[in-house]
Structure 1
């Protein structure tokens, strides 16, 4: 009765009601919960505090939005600095989730013994997540066109939205994961889909910005060829331009860089499948290594790799390039693209970036078993260890 009166008149600040909850909970578990008549029952006291918890969550919404706006604007003024040398997103994402995680931590500390009340709390908090994260994604989306010409900033902004998705998944697990109320779970699932949709839109904008110089060049050249060349000659030119464009993308963008650039000259038609040949002809580099540190130093020289999102951007870029060469049916046929060995090689290379380390090791070891080229290198302990690992993963 007293709580109902306070819920209507709100005579105290919200934090005081929250503190009272913890005192009542402590009293209940110390003096009441072990009594025979209460041992098997669900306590009533959490339901008394529902109005005050909802008030606190409402106030937390406003506080979280203030932190979001301040953090994003500060980030924007500082050109979205990365949080550290090892991360690819900026400070505002960390600030936003620090606040959200603190709010969730308090809700979890309430250790609500009433499952119905706990479900109501999580459903309400899922609305907070939806409001704050979509607001952040919307701010990024509105500003993205201003930064899409700057590759580094564009990537950081896309990474920020991706980090929203990563952290949301972690919060979902903390909230209860698969055991969450279906309504709450659906809200978070829909939120993930909306964030993914924003990321797709940003990727599309970045693809347009990245491809603009190439598309301007191609469209200008192709227009002249359409006007001046016979149809058969035009097809020959288009096929050769296609081959040059796709092979260049594979070697310059997709494949990891090589310290010794002369190796590419030795393999002018190199595909990703030929990487094992490069390793075999240069195996002396590995045989000369005597420690893991040497191996790590070598790895750092080729540490550039593509993230899954960058692979998605490249996929979108390929679609745009194919449309350019198709030219609404006046250029190359769509069936030509699917049969193109250059495109198949490039897609295979991209697929390797999405495979696990275990899958990559299996592929490499299997190719070496077939070629037998590494079997003569087992005099070196480091190489022997690699081969033993391959034997375990790919017996």
Structure 2
């Protein structure tokens, strides 16, 4: 019974976190557009001095990095490539061979602590290259990853019926693993043997192993392991089940995964979202709240009269409070989640307008895929570090 209660509380937490960190920044972006008829880039330029005062140095740096990236040729692929690929192996070799990068660049990349940081550094270096170099880079990634369209592109190509049947089965396996994600994070053990098996089947490599094992806590090891498996899609899922079955303790987890029902509603609910994030989501919740507050102080011209200007400011304050709550907690009881859902619905509808009102219920039905979930938890961890940094300065 305690396990069921924990799972429910954790599910409530992830739903609330998804709404706050993935959806609300998009809603705030819509609010700026419909109220002032300007894009975020213009809003940033109009309020940059105010933003420089209220944002941390790291937030301000992130803001201008994303602002620069937004109009770049690589932006539609940026998040998918950073989260779902390994650029520092054969792709980096190709870039050096073509004279796009240097051996010195590789040494710099090798100093990065994690795969995500390595990928980000390579992507930042590619942003300074010519358009032709960027095309060569994208072609190289596409050749190296058979599922490039799935993991890196905003909208994948149409597939025939035969492929759809295969993809549906792949989807079922992925959904079963996602629905049991919390269980796997908490209960999966003996991961050394699992990793060895996945390396032998070329689902993972030595670098993956080192990154996964760099965590001292078993739950973090499990989280990183599932994230890397998710990149390999069907083969990764299948081989994970094989490895779990081979272990006496972990084999009970396979029984639970394989007995998990997948409904049509699940297929829609767990459908992966676009790798192409809105600019608001890329900037993040904290920066978007600060930007909206700065716009309010700058008194930029409005195209839509907003009578409840004080209410808007109150909404932004409430969003900060909810953000801090999510950063500090790891689970939410049913009563608290119900109140939070009502408050967030009201805020989203006030800020987003009529278009958002019609789709608001869908936001609370949506579930994260595995990679989204890990990305979401990374954002929360980063926000927690920023909060502690601010507190230490006061």
Query: Shorter chain as normaliser: what TM range?
Result: under 0.3
Greater Cα radius of gyration, structure 1 or 2: 1
The structure whose RCO (Cα within 8 Å, separation 6+) is larger is 2
> What's the TM-score, normalizing by structure 1?
0.23
